Amino acid sequence: MRTHSFHPPVRTLMGPGPSDVNPRVLEAMSRPTIGHLDPVFVDMMEELKSLLQYAFQTGNQLTMPVSGPGSAGMETCFVNLVEPGDKVIVCQNGVFGGRMKENVERCGGTAVMVEDAWGSAVDPQKLKDALQAHPDAKLVAFVHAETSTGAQSDAKALVEIAHRHDCLVIVDTVTSLGGTPVKVDEWGIDAVYSGTQKCLSCTPGLSPVSFSERAMERIKHRKTKVQSWFMDLNLVMGYWGSGAKRAYHHTAPINALYGLHEALVILQEEGLENAWARHAHAHRALLAGIEAMGLKFVVKEDERLPQLNAVGIPEGVDDAAVRAQLLQDYNLEIGAGLGPMAGKIWRIGLMGYGANPKNVLFCLGALEDVLSRMRAPIERGAALPAAHAALGAA
């Protein structure tokens, strides 16, 4: 029963992430491993922190990648900032707001939920009302870009409201970072986490985070110990903090960090504004093609994420069968809906390296073929011309 080396197929990843990884990142990850306390590695860590500060548009000292996926980054924010008994306002408009609630409760806090429909942005008025009803709230948490629905909320407005009530704010930017503006300092975000496998075009497994001075103060003056040893920032900072002397905390995922460093160098080379524009451009072309085919976007125009396109599945079409066919015939992955959206939407990612005309045209072509063969009610032959026109109009 001997197992052999694993050779994955070459897919085109247009789901909610992981997205297509830049080959430069894959090559970087295969460079020789060195020690996590090697002075050369420590210099690389400093560069990585600066590159992340650029990506997050922040001067926050405490800006670094958590050695785990986005969920570990989320939990790092909550376990450090929530103490038992704390009241936290959590805005939910998709799967990940629900996960925030779980985090608050497992830290011994109380979550006050502000609910919006899945597929809509968070309503700032509802947050105002909740803060007025709960003047003892200490934190507000929301998802900037809901990966489960493709809706983007107005982070700047929500942070302002929270600060007026003297709450710190935790923001999930897993799907927005690198794809649409995330301006940590300008918006005044206190704690933010993201992932590497979306618009940064890196492999999954790391979670960039950043904390404001105010958040750091709160963490330093906690009454109780952080419940997680692994995620306790007071300890993690001994390794990721400044200065030549790094204290061993855990063994950093060396080669994964090479990959993230390379992904961020690529982002710096392109420039954030250009990356945002590229995502918007690819999105407009996909949108034009999808609508020409007769399919509909489920998120309102002004709340749509360019990098995550939620498309309604036409009546009578078998969701899983379409995705399986795309994978089998075209090595193309698109995403399913989650929770109440399961079976109702497809999630088409245009993230990072994958946000380009080639992927747009390929996806439209493959989808049209598979849907036609399944006799779905679509307009044939219209998608590509519409996409071409949108690409040209940029």
Q: Which positions from 78 through 107 interact with its own copies, judged by CB under 8 A?
A: 79, 99, 102-103, 105-107
Among 128, 165, 249, 388, binds its own copies (CB under 8 A): 249
Rule CB under 8 A: say whether 363 interacts with its own copies.
no
Parallel, antiparallel or unpaired: strands 110-115 and 87-92: parallel
Span interacting with its own copies, options 26-34, 120-128, 159-167, 176-184, rule CB under 8 A: 26-34
Interface residue with its own copies, options 67, 173, 176, 180 (CB under 8 A) = 67
List the interface residues with its own copies, window 298-337 (CB under 8 A).
327, 333
Show the tokens assigned to 308.
Answer: 């995550």
In the complex, least distance from residue 307 CB atom to its own copies, rounded to whole angstroms: 15
Which window, 34-42, 185-193, 215-223, 369-377, contacts its own copies (CB under 8 A)? 34-42
State yes or no: residue 270 binds its own copies (CB under 8 A).
no
Please list the residues that pair with 90 across neighbouring strands.
113, 141
Is 208 a binding residue for its own copies by CB under 8 A? The answer is: no
CB of 75 to its own copies, least distance (A): 5
Give whichever of 147 and 210 is closer to its own copies, judged by the CB atom. 147
The correct pick among 253, 312, 340, 357 for binding its own copies (CB under 8 A) is 253
Q: How many residues bind its own copies (CB under 8 A)?
A: 83
Q: Binding its own copies by CB under 8 A: which of 61, 110, 228, 356?
A: 228
> Among residues 22 and 60, whose Cβ is nearest to its own copies?
22
Considering only residues 159-198, where is the footprint of its own copies by CB under 8 A?
195, 197
Using rule CB under 8 A, residue 44 touches its own copies: yes
Identified binder of its own copies from the candidate list 164, 220, 225, 373, rule CB under 8 A = 225
Interface stretch with its own copies, choices 10-18, 86-94, 120-128, 182-190 (CB under 8 A): 10-18
Buried b (16+ CB within 10 A) or exposed e, 198-236: bbbbbbbbbbbbbbbeebbebbeeeeeebbbebbbbeeb
CA end-to-end span of the chain: 55
Among 125, 242, 251, 372, binds its own copies (CB under 8 A): 251
Is 248 one of the binding residues for its own copies (CB under 8 A)?
A: yes
Piece of 117-125, 162-170, 249-257, 367-375 that binds its own copies (CB under 8 A): 249-257
Cβ nearer to its own copies, comparing 33 with 274:
33
47 near its own copies, judged by CB under 8 A: yes
Query: In terms of CB distance, is 75 or 303 closer to its own copies?
Result: 75
